[in-house]
Structure 1
């Protein structure tokens, strides 16, 4: 079976990991020949592996973002004469391909909830969601929460939606030595991994640290953000300065996979107070590294973390702080939470994600043959 998957425009983050592991899984199967659409501008920074055949596209005028017109015109033109069995739009977008079966992954509807934050991008994502619904495309989404939203908010036919959760690499994320001296200057610390922005709600961690100080628990906060937004970072540091805790806050953005694994393992607690997630990989990565997790109880997160984390109201400073204190002060509770987390994370592997996706490919091709 010949599959084309779209890897354009994604260099890092959860969607890039999804595309990367899907590409690797397909490439390892002798039953599939994969063509990956890649962007010239992303080659140096992209984590998507160079596997299968590659077709390169190039955004005109060095644009950072695609437009609907550009995508439909260029991607459609590239694929028109390509001999493929199915096209997988891995992140919302897909071209007009009457002669080729198509499946599209709609990760979540966060842009419906944060319309103002998305600006012009809202129209881009909304267009593809509405198009997928109007054309009755087969849709993959990553959580039961996102499926409910697609049905209840966007009006999709639930029979056309397949829930295929993301996964983590259990060989990559695992407990490492607690004695790593490279990170001793940061310890003890709380950890957060993710883009610094309003939705991720890192600012509540600054409030929580200030409150923990008054309770006799002085910890640092490490925020690992693989992107860099000077304005958002400054908002965090200004708030920390206002509360007198700026010396306890560290923002890091150039962290290797090996370093990330160590940061997870050495953290006292991993904190994830996000206001909205379609899935949420970082809490699972922390669990795999043997770190206790305090996580938001919003959107898909309770479904993902199960009983392997303490789920809290992400805007309740007291609840977050008291949950952290409980982990720090009760060794038996902490160890039990870690064990539950290690068990929960076994449910989410890339192998399962890839195999479920392959089975769906076969079903779609069979229906359209």
Structure 2
């Protein structure tokens, strides 16, 4: 972290002293410290994403206590602080009492698009989209829930993209659950390939243990997929009539949600339509325009 901060300090100083910029945008920590240091020269906006907010991950509580005063100082000097969800804004309020504007994450709604039902995979396919398998994504609970669902509905598959720290462990778990033939690990693919494959799936499920606002979820919504998500971060700001919210670490609720959507095609189609409508309001044109307005006002 120290090396990153020092390196960014040097790079930002070269940019700011070129006198080409009238405002700047930084993430919450440690980037905003650089913004605070050069705030006398260029006003700045702070954009909070998730892990850059003290309290986001209880594992680092001691570290958060150490950096909290510095973080609060850099936010208070900013022209505006932005969070990508109301949940994150509420969490940030524990660090500094500053006005926080909500601007959700954006999605490329032109790249990620829904497809006609005839282009869907022939087998009912569940996916976690572009989620990189990691300890905070809760994919082990998705595997458990899918295994229970698959036992009653064997003509189904789970498709996982990406490479992460838990890939081998997830493969072992699939074998232990007896669903290794129904769980497909597609490995690392390009963003363009993901945009082609994702809309062919039928349901998106992300049982995260912690999130700010999931980009993978927004991409799935843009592809018109019903969404099953845990009640963390900004999930409820994305899932509103277009999916089902489940409890964290609860594979049984995941299985029940999958069964509900699988059994009712009309429900799935209604959710699909609402997902796409939701994503179109969160395209980069809209989100980028809000950030541009803030920077111009600074």
Instruction: Decide: shared fold, TM above 0.5.
Output: yes
Alignment check: 8 A CA contact 2:28 2:71 kept: no
Q: Does 1:144 align with 2:81?
A: no
SS in 2 for 1:196: coil
2:98 equivalent in structure 1: 157
CA distance in 2, matches of 1:83, 1:171: 31
CA distance in 1, matches of 2:243, 2:256: 14
1:286–1:313: structure 2 CA closer, same or farther, 3 Å change rule? same
- How does 1:247-262 map onto structure 2 within 5 Å? 247-262=181-196
Give the CA deviation at 1:74.
Answer: 4.4
**What's the Cα RMSD here?**
2.9
Q: Which has the higher mean CA deviation after the structures are superposed, 80-89 or 295-304?
A: 80-89
2:57 to 114, 128, 136: 114
1:339 to 254, 273, 278: 273
- Total equivalences in the alignment: 291
Please give the TM-score of this superposition, normalised by the length of structure 1.
0.70
- How does 1:80-119 map onto structure 2 within 5 Å? 80-90=17-27, 92=29, 93-94=31-32, 95=34, 96-97=37-38, 98-109=40-51, 112-116=55-59
1:168 to 87, 107, 120: 107
- Gaps spanning 5+ residues in structure 2: where? none
Please give the TM-score of this superposition, normalised by the length of structure 2.
0.85
2:13 equivalent in structure 1: 76
SS in 2 for 1:221: strand
1:14 equivalent in structure 2: none
1:180–1:307: structure 2 CA closer, same or farther, 3 Å change rule? closer
- How does 1:287-306 map onto structure 2 within 5 Å? 287-306=221-240
1:325 to 231, 239, 259: 259
1:65–1:99: structure 2 CA closer, same or farther, 3 Å change rule? closer
- Listed one character per residue, the Cα deviations across residues 198-254 of structure 1 (whole Å, up to 9, x for unaligned) are 1111111110122113323442211112xx33x411121121222122222222333
Alignment check: 8 A CA contact 2:16 2:42 kept: no
SS in 1 for 2:128: strand
Question: Of the two structures, which has the highest relative contact order with CA contacts closer than 8 Å and spacing of 6 or more?
Answer: 2
Which stretches of structure 1, 4 residues or longer, exceed 4 Å deviation after superposition?
A: 117-120, 122-128, 177-181
1:90–1:253: structure 2 CA closer, same or farther, 3 Å change rule? farther
1:21 equivalent in structure 2: none
1:136–1:178: structure 2 CA closer, same or farther, 3 Å change rule? closer
Alignment check: 8 A CA contact 1:106 1:129 kept: no
Alignment check: 8 A CA contact 1:190 1:267 kept: yes
1:252–1:132: structure 2 CA closer, same or farther, 3 Å change rule? farther
Give the CA deviation at 1:128.
Answer: 6.4
